[in-house]
Structure 1
Amino acid sequence: MAMIKCPECGQEISDKAKKCIHCGKVFIEEKVAKEELKCIECGATLNDSDEVCHNCGCPVEESPIKPQEVQVSSIKVGNKTKKIIVGVIIALVICVAGGIGYKVYSDKKAEENYQNAYNTYIDNLEKAQVLMISGGSDAESLCNLTLKVWGNAIYEDRDDETDKYTRPKGYFVDDFNEALANLFADSDTQSTISDIEENQTAVKEIMKKLQDVPEGLDKCYDTVSDINEAYGRLTDLAISPSGNYSGFSTNKSNAISDFMSAYEKLDTQIPNRK
């Protein structure tokens, strides 16, 4: 055995020493005690060379291999990727919110459009009533005058209103047709006919607008169409009288009756504006 100097403190120690007796520097690591091998059946301590347990005879099995632990490494996401993901999420949120917002806006706009169309339709219904009652009134007056001239010419009845047509020269005309021709050649009659024809044109225009019926107003359109049908018959009779005296009188009465019946019905059907 030789003496050497400790590389740590410089003191002399044996070259076989495991550690310095002066400073405690360790030169040779002690082997870690090996884990004892035990029988899996009875727990007796076994030697490495044993193939069976000397206590119970159970075969010695190799130590089971411990299952390897699986470590899941976390995915590291860079700042740029995070920004992209956040951007995508924000975009999706905006799209969803935008879709909902558009649906709400679209529904509200549709409701507003329907309300405007509904109210406009009611206004046009009332306008149609005014136009047709005005034109119908002029037509009725002209029809009544036509019947009066017609009858007085036939029965040679004098009347201050009709004498200028039935007795233009101080005596009755030979034929009622001549009296009617005098009536329709008169400037006042021509002016009335012109007013009725203008009214007919205005009624046709408003009826075209009424063909586009909003939901809930179908019955109103059916009734105003009935008024228009009777109005047309009455105004045509006034402008172009035809047939015989009795038939003309009956047709006029029927047209007026149908007109007023439908007119009053529409009054009960037209709802309030929204």
Structure 2
Amino acid sequence: MAMIKCPECGQEISDKAQKCIHCGKVFVEEEEKEAEVIRCEECGTILSETDSICPNCGCPVETKTENSAAATQPVEVAGIKMAQKTKKLIIGVVILLLVCVVGGVGFKVYSDKKAEKEYREAYNLYIDNLDKAQMLMLSGGSDAETLCNLILNVWGNSIYEESDSETDKYTRPNGIFVDDFNVALQNLFADSQTNSTISSIEDNQTAVKELMKKLQNPPEELDKCYDTISDLYEAYKLLTELAVNPSGNYSGYSSNKNDAVSDFMVAYDKLDSQIPDKKTGK
């Protein structure tokens, strides 16, 4: 056994002593010291667990429990407040995103329905115009064919001096055949009934031309209908022009008229089979 100095008071004590006999310092392992020894914050005097004030300097003793509670409480409260704010912020963001998504979907549905309605209306209007143009061309073409046939009858009967109750007033107005078929045709075109028919055909031509302008930009599904009515229009124009302004020789005129009528009817029947039903709203 050896003598050592107490680290607290400097008095000599045994190196085996667990407590200084002079100042009362307790000697323990560093870990136990840290866990068990309580010192005064002012003078460093070792305190017992029951001391409320330092017996050396009189400083109040603040326990670890109180320190821990005092230090922990505001942290916990702050943590709770932070969590609530964050939660509200997240909820707000989620709600905003949902509103945006629902609004975007709703707008797209509305836009799609609006576009579908507009297309359907344009589609149905186009079919209406197809029907009108087809019927107008049939009416004008029919009048033109009738007049072309009369022109041919007057022309032929004048050349071959054949009597006919329908053409006699043009080919033999005084009971005698005219010397030139051109005179007979002039008599025909000077007739008030013929002029009325020509005027009707020309009005028909104007109406058809206006409708064809409206048909120039067909909906995608009606492209073939436009191609066919364009063919019909070409035959119609040739036929009506032959009626309003006859020219050439007799056989050539007759051949042109027959070709125009044939082309007209082929295109008319084809278009009749192509025009679809109108679209209905869902």
The CA RMSD measured in Å over matched residues stands at 2.8
- Structure with greater helix percent: 2
Change (3 A) 1:178 1:86: same
Change (3 A) 1:37 1:179: closer
Cα deviation for residue 242 of structure 1 reads 0.2
Match of 1:228 among 229, 233, 242: 233
> Quick one: distance in 2 between partners of 1:198 and 1:112?
35
Match of 2:247 among 242, 245, 256: 242
Structure 1 unmatched ranges of 5 or more: 1-29, 39-70
Question: Percent identity, aligned pairs only?
Answer: 69
Structure 2 unmatched ranges of 5 or more: 1-23, 33-74
> Quick one: distance in 2 between partners of 1:157 and 1:97?
85
1:190 aligns with 2:195: yes
SS of the counterpart of 1:142? helix
What amino acid sits opposite 2:220 in the alignment? E
Q: Which residue of 1 aligns with 2:206?
A: 201
Where in structure 2 are the equivalents of 1:67-216 lying within 5 Å? Answer: 74=79, 76-77=81-82, 89-216=94-221
Cα deviation for residue 99 of structure 1 reads 1.0
Q: Per-residue displacement from partner, 1:192-240 (whole Å, max 9, x unpaired)?
A: 0000000001111111111111111111110000000000000000000
Q: Which residue of 2 aligns with 1:22?
A: none
Change (3 A) 1:122 1:32: farther
> Quick one: distance in 2 between partners of 1:261 and 1:32?
125
Q: Per-residue displacement from partner, 1:98-141 (whole Å, max 9, x unpaired)?
A: 11101011111111111111111111111111000000000000
SS of the counterpart of 1:169? coil
What amino acid sits opposite 1:209 in the alignment? K
Change (3 A) 1:31 1:153: farther
Cα deviation for residue 79 of structure 1 reads 8.7
> Quick one: distance in 2 between partners of 1:37 and 1:184?
134
What amino acid sits opposite 1:173 in the alignment? V
What amino acid sits opposite 1:159 in the alignment? D
What amino acid sits opposite 1:109 in the alignment? K
> Quick one: distance in 2 between partners of 1:210 and 1:31?
114
Q: Which residue of 2 aligns with 1:23?
A: none
> Quick one: distance in 2 between partners of 1:234 and 1:218?
25
Cα deviation for residue 74 of structure 1 reads 2.4
Match of 2:223 among 218, 226, 246: 218
> Quick one: distance in 2 between partners of 1:228 and 1:37?
111
- TM-score using structure 2 length: 0.69
- Aligned residue pairs total 213
- TM-score using structure 1 length: 0.71
Change (3 A) 1:240 1:89: same
What amino acid sits opposite 1:188 in the alignment? Q
